[in-house]
Amino acid sequence: MDDKAKTFLIRLLETPSPSGYEAPVQDVVREYVASFADEVRTDVHGNVIASCNPGGALRVLYAGHCDQIGLLVSHIDDHGYLYSQTIGGWDPQQLIGQRMTVWTDGGPVPAVIARKPIHLLTEEERKKVVEAKELWLDIGVGSKEEAAEAVRIGDAATLELGYQELRNGLANAPGMDDKTGLWVVIEALRRASAEGGLECSLHAVSTVQEEIGLRGARTSSFGVDPHVGVAVDVTHATDCPTIDKNQQGDVRLGKGPVISRGPNMNPVVTARLIEVAEQTEVPYQVTAIARATPNDANSIQINRAGVATGLVGIPNRYMHSAVETVALGDLDHAADLLARFALGLRDGDDFTPGLAGRRG
Ligand SMILES: [Zn+2]
């Protein structure tokens, strides 16, 4: 990953994008793709679609969702404490004691989210799992009026954003889900266009609102009407304690992007992804998922009359926490894999299960 691409990743991670509030991160995406995309547009839902060779007969969509989980301010109490609803799937235990930021029209407002100290918890309370609705945000004010000067009902909040590198090329930040997948689809577009010779039309989409129901992938797939779609999202790394490999498979950080097999994935696309990885010596891992996947691949596959869909995962430890941890090398390899995959597609390619390859 060169310096420019790495700076882009860090900017994505440091720019807030709770579902429905993605406009700031989409600005970052538009600015980065301007130098190499042939066409950039933003639809009314907020998806940013960057395209190369847009006239190509075979339409290919790569989706990385730009939204992240967060909180939505729903009430300010008489003392100026904020209560919230959750945006996306939180483990409320992950929220206790975190630094937060409320993103307002007037700029970022620092906050903490907490509960009373352990010394003051009753025996009963200590045993109980806390619910998100019991937690409050404290912005340091003394009254409802003072809070309302800074924050409005319907403002969104995130964990305090920030990027940190660990040893051996690992890095952590909130929102690796799915700023890493977003980075991969944009970077795949850049690498494919820099290489030259793209026959398909390639559309890298920064999708919105994945965390609240895979919604941006649904609207952007309808708009682009692709023949082939690949979603890139984080997937659970199982190389840390307590995860059941028998169910989740053996997925490790730094061992390459994860190609998913299962009913949500078109078998021809999946086979092609594996073939490309083998031929180009990109390290990869394989995982299985037996249901409709909980990510953009789900919406893409059942767009219109159906789309030949693939799913490429970025191994991620500690999903939906403040310290989502990935290996930077996996991002780089995923971008290479998807650039090569797109470059290898030809107009007449058929992805119909059981028939592909049998037609003239
Ligand atoms: Zn995701």
**pLDDT tens readout for residues 219-252:** 999 999 999 999 999 999 999 999 999 999 999 9
Task: Provide φ and ψ at 129, rounded to 5°.
Answer: -80, 130
210 is catalytic: yes
Percent of the residues in the chain that have a pLDDT greater than 70, as a whole number: 99
Question: What is the Å distance from ligand 1's center to 335 Cα?
Answer: 17
Out of 22, 187, 210, 324, which one is annotated catalytic?
Answer: 210
Residue closest to 231 by CA, chosen among 167, 174, 188 = 188
Separation between Cα atoms, residue 14 and residue 9, nearest integer Å:
9
What is this structure's pTM? 0.96
Task: Provide φ and ψ at 39, rounded to 5°.
Answer: -155, 135
Question: What is the Å distance from ligand 1's center to 58 Cα?
Answer: 27
Which pLDDT tens digit goes with each residue over 176-212? Answer: 999 999 999 999 999 999 999 999 999 999 999 999 9
DSSP 8-state symbol, 68: B
**What is the pLDDT confidence band of residue 172, given thresholds at 50, 70 and 90?**
very high
Which pLDDT tens digit goes with each residue over 117-151? Answer: 888 888 888 888 888 888 999 999 999 999 999 99
Question: What is the Å distance from ligand 1's center to 234 Cα?
Answer: 6
Question: What is the Å distance from ligand 1's center to 107 Cα?
Answer: 26
Asked whether 321 and 94 are in contact (CB, 8 A), the reply is yes
Q: Which two tokens stand for residue 88?
A: 């996306």
**What is the pLDDT confidence band of residue 360, given thresholds at 50, 70 and 90?**
very low
Residue closest to 296 by CA, chosen among 206, 223, 236 = 206
What pLDDT is recorded for position 36? 97
pLDDT of 81 > 70? The answer is yes
Mean pLDDT, range 36-63, rounded to an integer: 98
Compute the 3-state secondary structure of the chain and give helix, strand, coil in percent, each to the nearest 5: 30, 25, 40
Question: What is the Å distance from ligand 1's center to 153 Cα?
Answer: 26
**35 class by beta-carbon count within 10 Å (0-12 exposed, 13-18 middle, 19+ buried):** exposed
Question: What is the Å distance from ligand 1's center to 295 Cα?
Answer: 6
pLDDT of 65 > 80? The answer is yes
Mean pLDDT, range 40-54, rounded to an integer: 98
Separation between Cα atoms, residue 114 and residue 120, nearest integer Å:
13
- Which residue in this structure is represented by tokens 């003051």? 120
Rg of the chain over CA atoms, in angstroms? 21
